[in-house]
Structure 1
Amino acid sequence: MLCQAFCFRAAAQSTEAAQWIVPSTSKDEPNSWLAYRKVVSLSEKPTQTITKIAADSKYWLWINEKLVVFEGGLKRGPDPDNTYYDEINLAPYLLKGKNTIAVLVWYFGKEGFSHKSSGKAGLYIESQAPSLNSNKTWKTEQLKAYQTAAAPVPNYRLPESSILYDASKELGNWQGREFNDTSMQPARELGTYGTSPWNKLVKRPIPLFKDFGLKNYTKAPKMPFVSKGDTIVCNLPYNAQITPYFKIEGAAGQKITMYTDNYLLFLGGEVNLRAEYITKDGIQEYESLGWINGHKAYYVIPKGVKVTALKYRETGYDTEFSGSFTSSSAFLNKLWHKAQRTLYLNMRDSYMDCPERERAQWTADAVNESGQAFYALSKSSTAMSRKWLHELVAWQKKDSSLFSPSPAGNWDKELPDQSMASVGYYGLWNYYLHSGDKQTLKDVYDAAKRYVAAWKLNEKGTIIFRPGGWTWGDWGDNRDMLLLYNLWYYMGLKGMQLTADELGKSTDAEYYRQLMQRFKTSFNAQFWNGNSYRDPDYKGKTDDRTQALAVLADVADAEKYPAILKIFQTEEHASPYMEKYVFEAMFAMGYEKEALARHEKRFTPMVMNSKFTTLFEVWNIDSNGVGGGTINHAWSGGGLTILSQYLSGVSPITPGYKQFSVKPQPGDVSSFKTLVPSVAGDIKVSWNNQVASATLEVTVPKGTEAMATMPKGSYDHILLNSKKVWSKQDNGKPQMFRLTAGSWTLKGIKISNY
């Protein structure tokens, strides 16, 4: 990769070198919009034109008036110093002869919880066709039409600004082939590859965003119509990332405002983004390019303006909704599908906690989101999890601490529990188990090892409390913080021990095993009181979260399960984020019916709320639609993972699903159908529990094998593809069956009907 990059740059040096460029009048002001244009002539149509494009901060690319890239570039950065670039083959869009290349750049110019500002606007293009290289031969202009909307301004977590576009000041169709660009100025060159402040360029690790095209709203006024000065409300099919569009006719100097219900009502307590437009005279159309999200789009249109079209463009991460789950439970079906939609809404440049208030990659949210993605989305989503893990460790501080969100320009506080969850069993190891990506395991290991070593132990072998920059633990009350941090530390050791073994680091692996053994003994001696795990100095109600983590860490042995179950049936303190771990712990203990009952009780208000297609940050919303959080928080979708992994029973045994288990725990769910889009191929599992028999059907992808077993039940005998393979007379529980590639049917004939 490094050699390829070097050779590529060397080739470009044979003519005029690529440069970082800006308009000569650029002042690096926040929310600057910059136009770049060049006309080139090619002697023949190329078969391949690999081109690198880097922009601070976002760009849109047209070739011969065709929109080739809608919102290219990624928020900075791969680490605190460097910048991402896109790599695109432009050959399909280039012609023999004259070609017009146009690039619009949006320079954020602000720090945020998801972006590290370089402090300087710029565009860099380096191509196999040297005539496309960015340098002083390009024409440029800072666009006066793009301005910043007045207060209320977006909160400090967002690097984006609310955009005001004044059509009376627009340059015209500067992307067009026939545009006269003599008024535009030659670009100012700022330096070649590696120039500060952008420094090294790192290849974009995720796909370019998917452009669904302009669409009609699912519900909107009949057009054309003349506005009476009302607010026009248009319905979207679901909560989506959109850019709003209109076509109107009217007089100059009138203001149109655009926003969504996630700006007006469901903003999560902080101002986010809207768009404004100042009309020119006559017929005009406009699309506001800064994406927003919601279930409804609002257009505030002045009286007398004729509206001929209202549309939206959905864009988002380029993946498919390949996973699926349906069952005899309407609640579980709605939970799974809302979780899938919420997950997708919280993916773009990185995983997000929410798409309006922060757009920040809080790493505990990413742990849950990564786990969901392996069951819900196509294989392209794996790149997002890989990007998250690389960014987490690339932003590691000199004192070895990890923090989130990252990338970030105005936040660097460590949340120790979140960071340990990320490098441990549910973060790095779970990623490897599902992806089989050993290179990332290698890439992250040393940084993870340094971070785990930064946690200090007392003489008993448990942790000295590490407050970090924010002692968080979870939203809500009754948090037994010392125990929460201890158990996340143990999960970190568990993940590191498995990782060290996998990488052949036997000394490290043995060290972690010994730490775990000592820790488990000490933790139980110090904190198990006969009824629950509690810090003797903790005065709150018994924390259900700590009991869940103790089970999942294998710190709690089976004899404690009945007592822990009683806690889960009486104490409900976990937020929707941590409820995933309670749900999983109850399945892991074998209490699937009780787990389903608790989850349905706690999640019904948000899951069965017919107004929303996404899950909330907190348990419910108040009369104002807020309730202290957003209405689209993917950390609440952990149930999706549990329904696929435990209820449906599909889980990798070896990395990359070369071998996987099918051990369903349907509880009182009488039927389900599940598709898991694993990296090794689609795994299909279905279950149908009838009076006389129960049937489990499994499709095993080519090149893999499944270890399958029938769910708990009173079987006289079991058939595998119509052949008897087990009988009650065998005096044992139904065994695991090794299934090779193909389709298999396990059928249990029940005792009372034989």
Structure 2
Amino acid sequence: KTISQNQVLTNDLNYNSIIDSSGIYVDNYQFHPDKLFPKKEWKGNWIWLNKEDYPDHQETFSTWVNNDPKRNKKYRALFRKKFKIDDLPETAILNITADVSFRAYLNNKLVAVGPPNIGSDYEDHNLPAHWFFTSHNILNSLEIGENVLAVEVFSFDLVLSETTSGKGKFICDIDNSLIQTLVATDSTWKCRLDTSYAIIKNFFSFNSNEEPENWTNANFDDEDWSASSIIDKPIAGYLTQSKIPIPFRRKINPKTIILKSNNNDIVLSENELLTKTFFNSEIIFDYGKNGVGFYNFSIIANKNDTLKIIPIEKNRANRPFIFICKAGKNDFSIPYLNVFRYLKLEVSSEKGLNINSIDVEYSSYPTTYTGNFQCSDEFYTQLWDIIRNTTQMCMQSLYLDSPLHQEPIACTGDYLIESLSNYYAFGDRWLARQDLIKTAKMLEKNNYDMFHTSYSLLWIQWLADYYRYTADNELLKELVPHVNKLNELFRNYLDEKYLLTQAPDYMFMDWIKIEKFNAHHPPAVIGTGYLTAFYYKSLVESAKLNENIGNNNQKDENLSLAKKIKFAVNKYLWDEQKQLYKDGIPFLSKVAKHFWLHEDSNIVTYSPHVNTLAVLYDIAPKERQESMMNYVVTQEKIELQPYFTYYVLSAIEHISKFNTIGLSLLNKWKNGIDLETYTLKENWQNETEFGYVGDYSHAWGGSPLFFISSEILGIKPERPGYKVIRFTPFVNDKITWAKGIVPINGNNTVDVSWEKKEDVYFVYKIKIPESFSAILDTPKELQNYSLHINGIKQENDKKINLEKGNYLIEYNKN
């Protein structure tokens, strides 16, 4: 079947990117995975380096797969295919993937990078059961006559989040219709081993002298290259189409360029940078705030001149890289994502080298700045903006914990918070959806045992939140069976009291110290209550998810078990004298101790963590909850870090105290942001009690954006997917006005603004989009005020239905 290019989407949408004072983002675009090119069958085969010519270079490796440092050497497999076309086709779509990762060039132009993150855990030695491919529109890069598709495949992980099957393989088809393929991988492709990348004195490096010169060009002579070998590995059932758009890139310019010379700082103009000859020099490019992306350069150098490129977030170097020059022109683009405010360039050249260009391309998932927020308090406005910036930096082909760490998808607690920020700042659903699916596949292949034990349960909460904001029933049907298997595994960790005392560990809790223990991985006596509360919540949420897809028997089983657990927590962990829940009971755990599970001590602790969760999940009776939260926010023994403060804010909102206690708690973020980097810090301190040094672009501390938009603007889903919107007017002594936009579904938004005049008059404006309705939920602070809606007096009932349209809602003090 013939199709035109405008009938289907590819993963590389033709983004219109924008740079302005608010940030870097894409213009409004339409993406839906159902509209992607429907790749059902492959003509191409998996191929790799010729088995006879390169018998010792057939395997790939990552941090936890095939990783034998004595045996594994970093190498690339280079592939080329020449082909001719007489006429430009109506459609040309490159479907492509490789293991571990690749960059593809058509006629010397970069046309594809991938694959999107596959998904793996910490210490995950099990091979992935799927592999993503992506589709790319290459029509504008084709030429009538001879073309060449050149692909470099990395045999090793460039960042920690990447995984591998352990066997090198590459596959692609260029399709010009649903049934016709122009080019496919087979043994006619030319291949060559490349060892330009290496480790030199613990620095990742590239030696330009080792790379075949101009190998991506059509006129390159590849006659002495080998024929590729066909690799007999599964395609059907293994290759999976990625259902997210790929990250966009946009060039950004430094704010200043500084040449370090004899202890002096000399500011260079761009023209001076490009006309000066550099010998042994140090140049610092300052981009004004932290950013994420890829740097590239073009220089004229002498053989074995070196450049050391050092990205710096604030004052710490990360991922330093050494480039060894060949004589003449050197063009290079770093193949992995970096994060930095400052890019330091150390030049080592006796004869001098010249810079033609040094560019940085900002890169992130294609976010639209649909949501926004402003209010009378400048700090809350700035905090919202910094969180949006940091969250965007962490949105790539997966939600990252941070672009510095780039950890595997093992940090679901981070992603739960980041996706909530996303729903209010950007309104995207697809990245969270793909990550939720990847996590399910990872759990399945690892028998539902996750490295961070508590984080596996948070995957269920993450899914429940996703459903709340999207009403995606199809995803529930796919993932709820995995939810039930995960819950079944945790049932095995319960003891006869129905407490989770037999878990393999209690990671992750917080980057703090409780008694003498690191709460990153506390002993059972500290972790029992915390993990039991998470399991209780998982069962309650799972009951709702099962009910949504008609699994009522499973719903009832979950609620029955949850009831027993709730009873157990109140019976065995509640301390009547202290009026608090204790964390656990010493020496109940029978699990063999290991690095991540300390021996119990004969201690009793009352962490704010277990007490917060007991309130948030209604394990604690209502009459206890306010005093318990007063303890949590006033105790000074344990300083809760930004991550767990999300649960504290949630519990405060749960007891209807966000407009007082919660808003005050947001002031802690004055020490949680860094204005030099304009990002979120991982922890309040630069170094924890146990010596852990955090980074400066960590979006797990971004929960204030969610609370600011959902509470101060007052918009939440009353029914999943915003089928009904709940609008709760905000009342507070400190904030006198606020305004903003909340994305709710697709391109739909809710516009909200409000102001107060002393305490006698509150006016709220809300615009409800077409095909939506809302419930006005008047807070108790305004229930004794007279109410007018669009000038008409209304009974000030608790809830009033609002259909689509513009509303002026006025409260006057009687």
| Structure 1 length-normalised TM | 0.86
Among residues 697, 701, 723, which one is paired with 1:636 in the alignment? 701
Match of 1:579 in 2: 645
Q: C-alpha distance in 2, partners of 1:675/1:98? A: 51
Deviation (angstroms), 1:238: 3.3
Deviation (angstroms), 1:234: 0.8
Q: C-alpha distance in 2, partners of 1:555/1:535? A: 14
Q: CA RMSD in A?
A: 3.0
1:210-259 deviations in whole A, cap 9, x for unaligned? 122x4322222322333352321112243222222233333221110112
- Out of 651-660 and 710-719, give the one that drifted further: 710-719
Q: C-alpha distance in 2, partners of 1:664/1:534? A: 37
Q: C-alpha distance in 1, partners of 2:166/2:625? A: 55
Deviation (angstroms), 1:6: 11
Match of 1:497 in 2: 543
Question: Is 1:119 equivalent to 2:166 in the alignment?
Answer: yes
Question: Is 1:323 equivalent to 2:390 in the alignment?
Answer: no
Three-state SS of the structure 1 residue aligned to 2:200 is coil
Q: C-alpha distance in 2, partners of 1:466/1:699? A: 52
Q: C-alpha distance in 2, partners of 1:536/1:187? A: 60
Letter of the 2:476 partner, please give it: L
> Is the CA contact 1:217–1:310 (under 8 Å) kept in the aligned structure 2?
no
> Is the CA contact 1:77–1:83 (under 8 Å) kept in the aligned structure 2?
no
Question: Is 1:248 equivalent to 2:299 in the alignment?
Answer: yes
Q: C-alpha distance in 2, partners of 1:351/1:97? A: 42
Three-state SS of the structure 2 residue aligned to 1:450 is helix
Match of 1:724 in 2: 793
- Out of 558-567 and 184-193, give the one that drifted further: 184-193
Letter of the 2:806 partner, please give it: S
Question: Is 1:742 equivalent to 2:805 in the alignment?
Answer: yes
Q: C-alpha distance in 2, partners of 1:589/1:7? A: 50
Three-state SS of the structure 2 residue aligned to 1:389 is helix
Q: C-alpha distance in 1, partners of 2:646/2:366? A: 26
Three-state SS of the structure 1 residue aligned to 2:136 is strand
Match of 1:417 in 2: 454
Three-state SS of the structure 2 residue aligned to 1:443 is helix
Three-state SS of the structure 1 residue aligned to 2:386 is helix
Q: C-alpha distance in 2, partners of 1:7/1:458? A: 45
> Is the CA contact 2:783–2:798 (under 8 Å) kept in the aligned structure 1?
no
Alignment of 1:649-660 (within 5 A): 649-660=714-725
The aligned length equals 701
Match of 2:240 in 1: 202
Q: C-alpha distance in 2, partners of 1:458/1:252? A: 65
1:179-201 deviations in whole A, cap 9, x for unaligned? 33334333232236539xxx821
Q: C-alpha distance in 1, partners of 2:234/2:694? A: 43
1:442-481 deviations in whole A, cap 9, x for unaligned? 1111121122122238687632324325543222133642
> Is the CA contact 2:102–2:153 (under 8 Å) kept in the aligned structure 1?
yes
Q: C-alpha distance in 1, partners of 2:407/2:472? A: 27
Match of 1:148 in 2: 198
> Is the CA contact 2:768–2:805 (under 8 Å) kept in the aligned structure 1?
yes
Match of 2:290 in 1: 239
Match of 1:31 in 2: 74
Among residues 532, 540, 545, which one is paired with 2:580 in the alignment? 532
Query: Using a 3 Å threshold, how does the CA distance of structure 1 residues 284 and 7 change in structure 2: closer, same or farther?
Result: closer
Question: Is 1:561 equivalent to 2:625 in the alignment?
Answer: yes
Match of 2:141 in 1: 93
1:343-374 deviations in whole A, cap 9, x for unaligned? 22222232222222343321221222222221
Alignment of 1:18-97 (within 5 A): 18-22=45-49, 25-26=53-54, 27=57, 28=59, 30-69=73-112, 71-77=113-119, 80-97=128-145
Among residues 396, 408, 424, which one is paired with 1:375 in the alignment? 424
> Is the CA contact 1:721–1:745 (under 8 Å) kept in the aligned structure 2?
yes
Query: Using a 3 Å threshold, how does the CA distance of structure 1 residues 588 and 300 change in structure 2: closer, same or farther?
Result: same
Deviation (angstroms), 1:115: 2.9
Deviation (angstroms), 1:31: 3.1
Alignment of 1:333-344 (within 5 A): 333-344=381-392
> Is the CA contact 1:684–1:700 (under 8 Å) kept in the aligned structure 2?
yes
> Is the CA contact 1:592–1:665 (under 8 Å) kept in the aligned structure 2?
no
Query: Using a 3 Å threshold, how does the CA distance of structure 1 residues 630 and 742 change in structure 2: closer, same or farther?
Result: same
Deviation (angstroms), 1:548: 2.0
Q: C-alpha distance in 1, partners of 2:104/2:761? A: 60
Query: Using a 3 Å threshold, how does the CA distance of structure 1 residues 141 and 444 change in structure 2: closer, same or farther?
Result: same
Question: Is 1:354 equivalent to 2:402 in the alignment?
Answer: yes
Letter of the 2:166 partner, please give it: G
Deviation (angstroms), 1:54: 1.4
Match of 2:3 in 1: none
> Is the CA contact 2:302–2:327 (under 8 Å) kept in the aligned structure 1?
yes
Q: C-alpha distance in 2, partners of 1:285/1:510? A: 63
Q: C-alpha distance in 2, partners of 1:21/1:353? A: 33
| Structure 2 length-normalised TM | 0.80
Alignment of 1:349-748 (within 5 A): 349-361=397-409, 362-379=411-428, 382-396=429-443, 400-403=447-450, 413=451, 415-423=452-460, 426-456=461-491, 462-469=498-505, 471-478=507-514, 480-530=526-576, 531-535=579-583, 537=585, 539=603, 542-571=606-635, 572-596=638-662, 598-607=664-673, 609-621=674-686, 628-667=693-732, 668-680=734-746, 681-691=748-758, 692-711=760-779, 712-713=781-782, 716-726=785-795, 734-748=797-811
Letter of the 1:688 partner, please give it: E
Letter of the 1:615 partner, please give it: L
| Structure 2 residues not aligned, in runs of 5+ | 1-32, 60-71, 121-126, 258-267, 520-525, 587-602
Q: C-alpha distance in 1, partners of 2:562/2:233? A: 51
Q: C-alpha distance in 2, partners of 1:694/1:45? A: 63
Letter of the 1:120 partner, please give it: K
1:642-696 deviations in whole A, cap 9, x for unaligned? 2222332221122211112111445332222232222252122222122352121
Letter of the 1:473 partner, please give it: M
> Is the CA contact 1:216–1:310 (under 8 Å) kept in the aligned structure 2?
no
Match of 1:104 in 2: 152
Deviation (angstroms), 1:540: 5.8
Deviation (angstroms), 1:637: 0.8
Letter of the 1:452 partner, please give it: N
Letter of the 2:162 partner, please give it: H
Query: Using a 3 Å threshold, how does the CA distance of structure 1 residues 285 and 64 change in structure 2: closer, same or farther?
Result: closer
Letter of the 2:253 partner, please give it: N
> Is the CA contact 2:75–2:156 (under 8 Å) kept in the aligned structure 1?
yes
Q: C-alpha distance in 1, partners of 2:298/2:430? A: 37
Deviation (angstroms), 1:597: 5.0
Among residues 169, 173, 179, which one is paired with 2:214 in the alignment? 173
Letter of the 2:344 partner, please give it: Y
Letter of the 2:566 partner, please give it: K
Q: C-alpha distance in 2, partners of 1:540/1:573? A: 18
> Is the CA contact 1:240–1:293 (under 8 Å) kept in the aligned structure 2?
yes
Query: Using a 3 Å threshold, how does the CA distance of structure 1 residues 454 and 251 change in structure 2: closer, same or farther?
Result: closer
Query: Using a 3 Å threshold, how does the CA distance of structure 1 residues 363 and 278 change in structure 2: closer, same or farther?
Result: same
Q: C-alpha distance in 2, partners of 1:464/1:601? A: 35
Among residues 182, 194, 211, which one is paired with 2:223 in the alignment? 182
- Out of 285-294 and 393-402, give the one that drifted further: 393-402
Q: C-alpha distance in 2, partners of 1:9/1:536? A: 55
- Out of 696-705 and 593-602, give the one that drifted further: 593-602
Query: Using a 3 Å threshold, how does the CA distance of structure 1 residues 518 and 188 change in structure 2: closer, same or farther?
Result: closer
Match of 1:278 in 2: 324
Letter of the 2:458 partner, please give it: A
Letter of the 1:434 partner, please give it: Y
1:405-456 deviations in whole A, cap 9, x for unaligned? xxxxxxxx3x332111211xx3211111112211211111112112212223
Q: C-alpha distance in 2, partners of 1:649/1:5? A: 39
Q: C-alpha distance in 2, partners of 1:247/1:218? A: 20
Query: Using a 3 Å threshold, how does the CA distance of structure 1 residues 646 and 402 change in structure 2: closer, same or farther?
Result: farther
> Is the CA contact 1:244–1:258 (under 8 Å) kept in the aligned structure 2?
no
| Structure 1 residues not aligned, in runs of 5+ | 154-161, 404-412, 728-733
Three-state SS of the structure 1 residue aligned to 2:511 is coil
Three-state SS of the structure 2 residue aligned to 1:549 is helix
